[in-house]
Structure 1
Amino acid sequence: MKLERLLSIIILLINHRMLQAKDLAKRFEVSVRTIYRDIEAINAAGIPIVTYQGVHGGIGLAEGYRLDRNLLTNDELATIVTALRSISTSYEKVQHQQLMEKMNSVVHPGDAEAFQSKTSRVLIDYSPWDNNTHLQEKLERIEQAIDTCLFIVFTYSDAQGKVTQRTAEPHTLILKGRQWYVQAYCTDREQFRLFKLRRMKSLSVDPKLSFTRRPLPEQKQIKGKQSSLSHKNEVVLRFQKEARHLAEDWFDAEELVPTENEAWLVKKAYPEDEWLYSFILSFGSHVEVLEPVHLRDVIAERAAQITKIYK
């Protein structure tokens, strides 16, 4: 991703007097144009980079400039390494491992053991239980399109099951709620949308169709799943007394209210959609919907349909 690529370029320029843009592009598997955009971003961050023309030219740090070794403390470096390790659980890239090794090399040998301890305290594992190679391929393909500013073309199935053909400008990959999305400008809808990668089929990058990056909208303006506070209803669930451990997988202990018959009540606001129905049904006979009444009817009807299948 862009952050680790920028950090890697900075470290390479510190350790080498001059580098060729084409060599950097090959190393990070991006275009030369992307490397020059990265150089502009590094310059804007206050690190002076100079490009030298000619046969023996290239990219290097301004004469006499040195990055202060103490610019980042060991705690800050440990935070970066921890974040990279966590990202790598769901999105493996050779550059992630290379950057972590470089970060480790910056630490003074005397602090190495304490540094390793700090980077091992927390690991946020985003990886799914199944090894989804198709998802990894989509991530790599979309990132390539983002780096080279090329359109993506795909078939998309929305939450209602409607299937459409889409052409879009990919801008940002987002991991939210254990699901990967791409924030892209949809040419069909003429606005930014969030597309869930698992719902994208026949994904391809159009090598002949490029775009210029647009200013990203505020998060609240992104059209994705149609849910907001105004569309949420309060749902009251009653868990059987022996199912408290199941309830605690999804709710804080403070949210579980005991009843006289040793059951547990939970009140929570949810948008009513297919996810909510599936969520409630996943608890089987351990949970009962008390409110709203119409939701009881929906769950009862679906449970009856499931029973009919197995009869």
Structure 2
Amino acid sequence: MKLDRLLAITMILIQRRRIPAKELADMFEVSVRTIYRDIEAINQAGIPIVSYQGANGGIGIMENYRLNQHILTQEELASVTMALKSVASTYRDARAEVVLGKIRGIVESTQSEAFKMMSEQIYIDYSPWGGDAPQKEKITRIKHAIQTSSLLSFTYHNVSGTISERIVEPHTLVLKGRQWYLYAYCTNKCEFRLFRLSRLKEPVLLEDAFQRRPINLEELPWDNEWRKPGQTVQLVLRFVPQIRSIVEEMFGVDHIRIDEQGYCWVSEAYPLDDWLYGFVLSFGPRVEVVEPLFFRENIQKLAHEIGSVYSGSSSPTCSSISAEQKAGGKKRDET
């Protein structure tokens, strides 16, 4: 379409100082005469394009002219650039690279160094240490399924280790608590579920398409799932004074109470699963579970079993604590 070609020519001229009309004609598979007619149309739209003669001549936007930047200020463009660069650390996005190129073209050459400094003040690297090419590929594939509204099948390992085959309608990729998740409508369960990408294996785009369901992301619907009655447990933890800085960094100073002896008290709600037991045990003897009683007793049993392995009185094995005991006698609805 002519409109698409006009826009494309404009963006090329923004990014490149000059380009021969013949090169544009070859690029868009039209005649040189058509290119000059397009240039005239762009001129009439208010963007001054002129022809330069000589060895380095060609078509270009008039010197010292740039598109109206009242739409976005230099600082706002720098913020967009920082965000796009950070996203690019997680998955491949050709569109993000194109947008970054367009932004570089909009910025005046005299301001390029200042803009570079503004856009490099913050860099959020979402990728793990050492990189993770398989996860980057997984996220890229899932994002493609979301963009094309394609059904997605995969193998899923839930928190209890149960393996199941799922077919979902992928809606949104969610980065939360340093972990990536897929928020999708599960055709097996007939409701929206939050799938942790580290437990999601072999995602395959299916030929069947789906119609996107209405969701309000501003309400953080996965948080509502997380806070369902019976899904979480309110833990009261007491940490030794020596790791106060770690506790403050992990929970935030506003969520910690310091007693007269310097112990750090934390009361937080968490999903009741194996991860939570591992999380508490990772602090070793530097934390005590005060409440609830069933969780405290289970931590004691697990610590005893770990001690038995390292004392040589037993071999590594699955915990003797049942899933129901770990959940405090409640039956969990696991994804």
Q: Is 1:15–2:11 an aligned residue pair? A: yes
Q: 1:117 to 1:143 in 2, by over 3 A?
A: same
Aligned to 1:217: 215
Q: 1:94 to 1:190 in 2, by over 3 A?
A: same
The answer to whether the Cα contact below 8 Å between 2:92 and 2:140 also exists between their aligned partners in 1 is no
CA distance, structure 1, for counterparts of residue 6 and residue 158 of structure 2: 41
Aligned to 2:101: 101
1:19-168 equivalent positions in 2, closer than 5 A: 64=45, 68-168=68-168
Aligned to 2:226: 227
1:263-294 residue CA offsets vs partner (Å, 9 max, x unmatched): 22223333433232222111111111122222
Q: 1:282 to 1:94 in 2, by over 3 A?
A: same
CA distance, structure 2, for counterparts of residue 98 and residue 218 of structure 1: 29
Q: 1:131 to 1:185 in 2, by over 3 A?
A: same
Deviation, structure 1 residue 199: 1.3
The answer to whether the Cα contact below 8 Å between 2:86 and 2:124 also exists between their aligned partners in 1 is yes
Deviates more, 1:279-288 or 1:151-160: 151-160
Aligned to 2:60: none
Q: 1:70 to 1:147 in 2, by over 3 A?
A: same
Aligned to 1:22: none
Q: Is 1:197–2:197 an aligned residue pair? A: yes
Number of matched pairs:
262
Deviates more, 1:83-92 or 1:249-258: 249-258
Aligned to 1:36: none
Moved over 6 A (4+): none
Aligned to 1:269: 269
CA distance, structure 2, for counterparts of residue 269 and residue 128 of structure 1: 26
The answer to whether the Cα contact below 8 Å between 1:193 and 1:222 also exists between their aligned partners in 2 is no
Q: 1:157 to 1:280 in 2, by over 3 A?
A: same
Deviates more, 1:136-145 or 1:262-271: 262-271
CA distance, structure 2, for counterparts of residue 89 and residue 242 of structure 1: 35
The answer to whether the Cα contact below 8 Å between 2:149 and 2:211 also exists between their aligned partners in 1 is yes
Aligned to 1:247: 247
1:61-107 residue CA offsets vs partner (Å, 9 max, x unmatched): 99837664432111211111010111122224454344323212211
CA distance, structure 2, for counterparts of residue 262 and residue 133 of structure 1: 44
Aligned to 2:325: none
**Aligned residue identity for 2:193:** R
- Uncovered stretches (5+) of structure 2, i.e. residues with no partner: 14-33, 35-40, 48-66, 312-335
Q: 1:151 to 1:233 in 2, by over 3 A?
A: closer
TM-score (norm 1): 0.72
Deviation, structure 1 residue 112: 2.1
Q: 1:307 to 1:77 in 2, by over 3 A?
A: same
Q: Secondary structure at the match of 1:299?
A: helix
CA distance, structure 2, for counterparts of residue 10 and residue 177 of structure 1: 44
Q: 1:90 to 1:299 in 2, by over 3 A?
A: same
Aligned to 2:296: 296
The answer to whether the Cα contact below 8 Å between 2:236 and 2:267 also exists between their aligned partners in 1 is yes
**Aligned residue identity for 1:292:** P
Deviation, structure 1 residue 233: 4.1
TM-score (norm 2): 0.67
CA distance, structure 2, for counterparts of residue 15 and residue 161 of structure 1: 51
**Aligned residue identity for 1:213:** Q
Q: Secondary structure at the match of 2:212?
A: coil
Deviation, structure 1 residue 248: 2.2
The answer to whether the Cα contact below 8 Å between 1:192 and 1:222 also exists between their aligned partners in 2 is no
Q: CA RMSD in A?
A: 3.3
Q: 1:281 to 1:195 in 2, by over 3 A?
A: same
The answer to whether the Cα contact below 8 Å between 2:154 and 2:202 also exists between their aligned partners in 1 is yes
The answer to whether the Cα contact below 8 Å between 1:234 and 1:292 also exists between their aligned partners in 2 is yes
Q: Secondary structure at the match of 2:151?
A: strand
CA distance, structure 1, for counterparts of residue 113 and residue 132 of structure 2: 35
Q: Secondary structure at the match of 2:70?
A: helix
Q: Secondary structure at the match of 1:250?
A: helix
Percent identical pairs in the alignment equals 34
Q: Secondary structure at the match of 1:249?
A: helix
